[in-house]
Amino acid sequence: MKKTIPVSAVFLALFLITNTLIPQQEVVMRIREGMPIIPVAIPEFLTQNNSPDQASAASTLREVIISDLEYSRVFKPLPEDYYQYIDPLNLEDINFKKWESIEAKLLLSGQVSENRDGSLIFEAKTYDVKSARFIKGKKYQSDPSLLRLVGHKISNEFMKIYGEPPIFTTKIVFVSNRNGNDELYMMDYDGYNQTRLTFNKTRDYMPAWSTDGKTIAYTAYNNQNAALYLFNPFEGTRTLVTDHGTSFGADFSFDGKKMAFCSTEDESNSEIYISDTNGKNIRRLTFNNAIDTAPSWSPNNREIAFTSDRLGSPQIYIMDAEGANIRRRSFGGNYHDAPAWAPTGDRIIYVSRVAAVFDLYVLNLRTDRIIKLTEGYSRNESPSWSPDGRHIVFSSNRTGTIHIYTIDYDGTNLRRLTSRGENKLPNWSRK
């Protein structure tokens, strides 16, 4: 079970630390795309004195950073037994030859000290081992309760060094009934700090982060009415977008200028609409007697993937951002739904039903190749990408109860993030 903290502590943490279609052939085998893994040495962090508090802080920070970098698929922390061949780190005279001998490419040193007010100071420095060159250093001052956030920020700096999107301070918003009603919650990318966001008598569904990570679009069901709202969890403000018909399934464009969503406000069936990010200037994009739903913006903001049953069964389509040039992108089977466009622009993940089993598939838009990510007699649904396009969060009832999981884009590294109540409809922030 992951640790939980109060909402106020989360907010304090955030404040303090800063067009000819080619039918695809389904591929059910796992396909792994190779990429370089950079070995990183992370020896035990030093402390200013031998106080238990500093030692505990140093241990927590190191644990968080190692876990982050192992998850990254970019870096690989060296195994613990490698350090037995190296003398303890001397910050005044680092023997880079010895670190190179155990195949380290990067070295992270860290030192914890303490202020008189009880706050902790952590200084981190990164070195290129082969060239014996200092790369980057940062100093963080933090309350002891915010050490995990500090660790995630240090891990983000590693990603930035190599031009990778930082993901370790991102949040996942989701729906949970753990307190008796479907409410919005958010958590860190790794499942820690699960925090309740809404407190009301409505049933809240389908949350989606805005591009800047400050606002959540979601649908609130109350007395058979389903209204679409914009909610800022950090300021506690909520704005109504529309309460005409049933409005749901919002997704924000990558440039932060537009929002797409579904609504029945003009027809009895669902159609796709777009608006400004603030919910103003609503305009309808699709016009037909079929159900059009689940819009997902392309990273270049020029196209929208969506689900439609216009040919009899739910399939994945793509249209231009203005609603023109609609073309089908899924073939075979009679149920494909919930497309989510990868931030890398080259892939779309979606849900497919085969013999009452719902699994996740990834379509490569360049090669038309399909990879099956999940297997089992369960419902694997509601996929959402991490900002770097290497991980997916989704919901599954594989244990009998619906919970939130993450999995890598090649079907490896499955992790369960939630443990209380039923948890569903996750959405991963882009920042």
The residue with tokens 């680092």 is: 94
Predicted model pTM = 0.91
| Residue at a domain's end among 134, 161, 188 | 161
Closest CA to 167 of 180, 157, 182: 157
Same domain, 226 and 314: yes
Same domain, 252 and 332: yes
Type of residue at 167 = I
On whether the CB atoms of residues 359 and 326 are closer than 8 A, the answer is: no
- Asked which of 26-40, 122-136, 224-238, 346-360 is least confident by mean pLDDT, the reply is 26-40
Per the structure, the complete domain to which residue 260 belongs is given by: 171-428
Please report, rounded to a whole number, the percentage of residues in the chain having pLDDT higher than 70.
Answer: 92
Same domain, 133 and 182: no
Domain CATH code at residue 308? 2.120.10.30
The residue with tokens 């196209």 is: 303
More confident residue, 120 or 85: 120
What integer is the mean pLDDT of 165-170?
96
pLDDT of residue 281: 97
Same domain, 361 and 400: yes
Let me know if residue 23 belongs to a domain: no
pLDDT above 70 for 30? no
H/E segment holding residue 361: strand 357-364
Model confidence at 312, pLDDT cuts 50, 70, 90, reads very high
pLDDT of residue 35: 57
| Residue at a domain's end among 139, 161, 183 | 161
pLDDT above 90 for 32? no
What integer is the mean pLDDT of 339-358?
95
Phi, psi (5° rounding) for residue 53? -65, -45
The residue with tokens 């792994």 is: 32
Mapped onto helix, strand or coil, the DSSP state of residue 98 is helix
The total domain count for the chain is 2
On whether the CB atoms of residues 25 and 111 are closer than 8 A, the answer is: no
**Cα gap 265→145, rounded to integer Å:** 47
More confident residue, 21 or 162: 162
Give me 219's structure tokens. Answer: 């649908």
Mean pLDDT of the chain: 90
**Cα gap 390→190, rounded to integer Å:** 14
pLDDT of residue 344: 96
On whether the CB atoms of residues 176 and 183 are closer than 8 A, the answer is: yes
Let me know if residue 380 belongs to a domain: yes
pLDDT above 70 for 253? yes
Domain CATH code at residue 34? 3.40.50.10070
Same domain, 152 and 183: no
What integer is the mean pLDDT of 230-237?
96
The residue with tokens 């030692």 is: 55
Same domain, 136 and 215: no
Q: What are the E-state strand segments in 102-246?
A: 106-114, 120-128, 133-142, 171-176, 183-188, 195-196, 203-209, 216-222, 225-232, 237-242
Q: Tens of pLDDT along 172-230?
A: 999 999 999 999 999 999 999 999 999 998 999 999 999 999 999 999 998 778 999 99
Let me know if residue 176 belongs to a domain: yes
Give me 236's structure tokens. Answer: 């506690």
Same domain, 139 and 175: no
Same domain, 233 and 348: yes
Reported residue count of the chain is 431
pLDDT above 80 for 405? yes
Model confidence at 36, pLDDT cuts 50, 70, 90, reads low
Q: Tens of pLDDT along 54-83?
A: 999 999 999 999 999 999 999 999 999 999
